[in-house]
Structures are given as C-alpha cells and as structure tokens.
Structure 1
Amino acid sequence: MNILIIGGNGFVGQALIKEFKKYKVEVSYLSRNQNHSISKDKVTWIQGDIFDLDTIIIKKCYDIVIHLIGTIKNKNLYSKLNTESVAQTIKLCQKHNINKLVYFSENGGFKQYLESKLAGERLVRDSKLDYLIVRPGLMYGKGRLTSYFNILPIKFFSKLGITFFKNVYPLPVEKVTESVVKSILDNTDSTIIEIKDMK
C-alpha cells in the first residue's frame, strides 16, 4: 500500500507517518518545504504547493491520499486552507487516478472554522472518490508542546456537558492516528470516524 499525505510535515502528519511505519507502509508527503526531522529513509518528500497542481511531479502510484492542510488560527485563511485546498486535493486524486481520500475535518469549534471544515466535507462526499472523513477534537502530543495548555480546562468543561467543549474533547494525537491507520489497513466500510470511535 502506498500512502500520500498532503501537508504531511506538521504535527498530525508526523504522527501518521510514525504509525504507518510500524506496519511498513510506504509513505510519501507533499509539502512546500521539507521537514528535515523526518528521515529520508522512512518517507519520500514531494515538493509542491497544492494550489499549483501543474508543478507537482508525482512518479509513484498511490492508493490513498490523506489531506491535512488547514488552519484554526488565521480566520482570513479559513476558506483557502480549510476548503479550497480540499478541492485542489480532489483534483490531484483525479489527475493521478487515486481512488481514496482521507480528510481530516473537525468535530466542533468556532462557527466560521467549523463551517469551513464542513464545506470541505461536502466537497469530499460529492467527489465520487472513496473517502474516510476523520472528525477529531483538539489533539495534543509531544510534537506540539503548546497543545497541552488547553487540555485540562476543556476536559473539565466537557464533563459538565457543555456541548461546545464536548465536541472538541481533547485526544492524544497517537490515539487519533492509531484509529485512522487501523481503519485504513483493515479496509473498513466506515466513511466517518468520530471522537467516540477514537477514545
């Protein structure tokens, strides 16, 4: 199995690569810049910008693309990075005959942010590709030490039953990536993975 991760040099991408490599799965990642902390022996880096498809050179055949591009911090880029990048990834899949797309969406969050991620989901569902939509909450882990700061208050408020906090329930990035990789390798019929499936 060959996996291509779009935007794979970030926090979640690195955790996914680590999990896939446990099963000796071939992984490549596409990004504008190479992450030098990722061993060249373990993965293949493809230099490229998803918004400039004509300059992306893909030499291998891939079975699955995993889309990780997105932002929660910059509201001005919600449309471009959380939605338009998904449309570009779908075009890349169609151009290179890649039949399955895994899209990291969101389970909750601020209104504009969540709307941009749900718009990405609609594009995936309408694409006619096989797909898996992943809806994690807040993810934390050693690869992003600042991610630990919000965990305790959010867990506390989620136990009080406040919907907003329940929907962004924090999970270790390793639990999320384990669930996703297991679903892919088991070739399950699931089209959506929710927080409850990853706890």
Structure 2
Amino acid sequence: MNVLIAGGDGFVGRNVCAELVNRGHTVTSLSRSPDAEVLPDTVELVSGDITDYDSIDAAFEGKDAAVNLTALPPLHQPRPGTFHDTVCIGGVMNAVHAAQKHDVSRYIEMSSLGANPYSPIAYWRTQGLGDLVAQYSDLDWVILRPSFIFGKGSETFAFIKQYTTPYVTFLPDGGDQPSFQPIWVEDVAQIVADAIEQDRHVRQVYDLGGPEVLTFGEVTRMLYHAAGESVRIIPVPMQLVELALSAAEPLQTIPFGIDQARALEMTNTTDHNDIKAFGLDKSNLMRVETYLSTTSTNSNREQNHG
C-alpha cells in the first residue's frame, strides 16, 4: 500500500514509518520541516502544514491510506500563535477533506485516551472534536486513542526531566494521581499498521493502554533510578500550584500553565483496553521499567565501548 503519514518524522511517526517500511509498504512522511535523518532511507519526504490545506492537498494524491499523527503536546502550553483548535480540529478537517477528495481508502486518526468534546482541558476537548470530524466523514476511518506513549523521544519523559530535579523535587499533590497507563511507541506503531491493513478495524474507535497503571510520581522515580540517581518527591497542594500559575500565565516565556497542571490530575486509564482487538494482551506489551532498564544498560555498554 502507498501510505501517507502526517507528522511522520515526529516521535510516534518515525516508529510508524519504520514499521510500515518493514512490512513492505511505500511510505511518505508529511511535515512542516522534514527530517530525513530520523526516517528509513526509502521514506519519501513532503513539506506541508496540516493547518494549511493548500500546502497538504497534493500529498494525498495516489495514496491508499493516510495517518494523521499531528497534535500539540498536552504538557506544554502552545507556542504564541499556535492553538489546539487549529491543529486538532482544523488540521483534522484539512486531512479528512484531502483524503476524501483524493479517494484515500483508509484513514487513521491518532487521538488520545480521554478525548472528549466536553473536556475542560483544551487538549482533550479539541481531540474529541477532531475525532467527530473523522467519524462524520465518508472515509473508512479508524480512531486510535492511546494513553501516554513512551519510548525514545517521549514528550512526557522530556517533560519530567525538564521540570524535576534529582535528589529532591516538587510535584503537584506529590504526583500520586493514577494518571497513566503507559504504552510503548513500538507497540503503538504495530497497532497503527494493523489498523491500516485489516478491514475489520474500519469505523472503530479503540482505547489503548499499556500493561500497568502508574502515577506521575512513580514514572519520575523510575526515570531517575534508571539514570542511577535517587529522588525524593515533595508534595505541593494543587490549589497552590494553580494560584502560582494563574499569576505567571501572562508571561509567555513560561511553557507550563493551568491547563497543563490539570492534565497531571487527570486519570488517563482505560475502562476496557482494546489492545485485544489487535491480538495483544498485557503479557505482550513493554513495561516502562523494563524499557528504561534496557535502554540504560545499552547506554552504559556504548559508553564503555567508547
């Protein structure tokens, strides 16, 4: 199949592209500033902005399937001039329109667990509205809603490293909310490829989670432990965090706001995990601690051989 991946050189996209190439598909990556270094050599690169229809329209011509992976990260405030609405709603409208115009036979929308048009948090609210755009289209769509995706290049891992410190760190309510059901990016890439290839997934919405439920504090401890460092987490009342962020929010140099703090309170786990629809169960899936242990061991080996 000839497959277009919008956001193909991003964290999830580069893994999806590699999986599809390994399965023998012809793959094109669409992004604003294509990065060939993170993709297999056979992937064609196309420049375009999902929020600008005219810039992406031609990329859909001749494609059998299209995957939309574009979104703004939920744990950082959008940069000035960028908005969740224009990407997660407007971007989906553009992708769906182009796919319909060019008779793309399969359309995969990468949403997120918790997507809901009535959510008080902009990221999940606009994801929910974007999902409706795909669902009301005439396409053979599949909507995937994973929990926090982890792996090399994970936005959540980067966020933790940016906003916490080893030995002693502060987290809203101590990071004790059961916020995540982390799923490995390579497991997600396999699911995306199956959704493209298998007709039985058409017009289905899948909630996807990993093999365990972890709190934000637990993931923080795991990251530092894998790096050979300890960390003690000091709880900060959420009311105090929101008060401080309300005062700081007008300062656009601060990439963390009230919406992002509230996202850390949100329980992001599945009521029913749909990984079984893809022939998977918990025993098949990568666990965060196993992944971190493996990558830490490989990193130490590379340093020793260096």
SS at match of 1:194: strand
What are the within-5 Å matches in structure 2 for residues 113-192 of structure 1?
Answer: 113-144=123-154, 147=157, 157-158=177-178, 165=179, 168-190=180-202, 191-192=204-205
Alpha-carbon displacement from aligned partner over 1:13-57 (angstroms, at most 9, x marks no partner): 001011112211111011111113145632011112223333443
Query: Which structure 1 residue ranges, 4+ long, deviate > 4 Å from structure 2?
Result: none
- 2:234 maps to what in 1? none
Q: Classify the secondary structure of the residue corresponding to 1:4.
A: strand
Cα deviation, residue 132, structure 1? 0.3
Over the aligned positions, Cα root-mean-square deviation in angstroms equals: 2.7
Query: Is 1:12 aligned to 2:12, yes or no?
Result: yes
Task: Tell me the equivalent position of 2:27.
Answer: 27
Cα contact 2:108–2:195 (8 A) shared by 1: no
TM-score, scaled to structure 1? 0.83
Instruction: Pick which of 7-16 and 99-108 moved more.
Output: 99-108
Measure, in 1, the Cα distance between the counterparts of 2:27 and 2:96.
19
Aligned residue identity for 2:191? S
Percent identical residues: 28
1:193 pairs with 2:206: yes
Deviation at 1:86, TM superposition (A): 0.3
What is the TM-score with the length of structure 2 in the denominator? 0.56
Residues 100 and 21 of structure 1: is their aligned pair in 2 closer, same or farther, counting only changes over 3 Å?
same
Superposition deviation, residue 127 in structure 1: 1.1
Cα deviations across residues 145-184 of structure 1 (Å, max 9, x unaligned)? Answer: 752776xx9x9743xxxxxx2xx41111111111221232
The 3-state SS of whatever aligns with 2:93 is helix
Deviation at 1:140, TM superposition (A): 0.8
Give ranges in structure 2 of 5+ residues lacking alignment.
Answer: 161-170, 209-272, 276-281, 283-306
Q: Is the 8 A contact 1:140 1:173 kept in 2?
A: yes
| Cα distance between partner residues in 2 of 1:39 and 1:112 | 31
Aligned match of 1:161? none
Judged with a 3 Å threshold, the aligned counterparts in structure 2 of structure 1 residues 125 and 43 are, in CA distance, closer, same or farther, namely same
Q: Distance between the aligned counterparts of 1:89 and 1:130, measured in 2?
A: 13
2: distance between equivalents of 1:21 and 1:156? 40
Q: Which moved more, 1:40-49 or 1:19-28?
A: 40-49
- Structure 2: which amino acid aligns with 1:77? F
Separation (CA, whole Å) in 1 of partners of 2:95 and 2:60: 17
Unaligned runs of 5+ in 1: 159-164
**Contact 2:148-2:156 at 8 Å conserved across structures:** no
Structure 1 CA distance for aligned equivalents of residues 199 and 60 of structure 2: 25
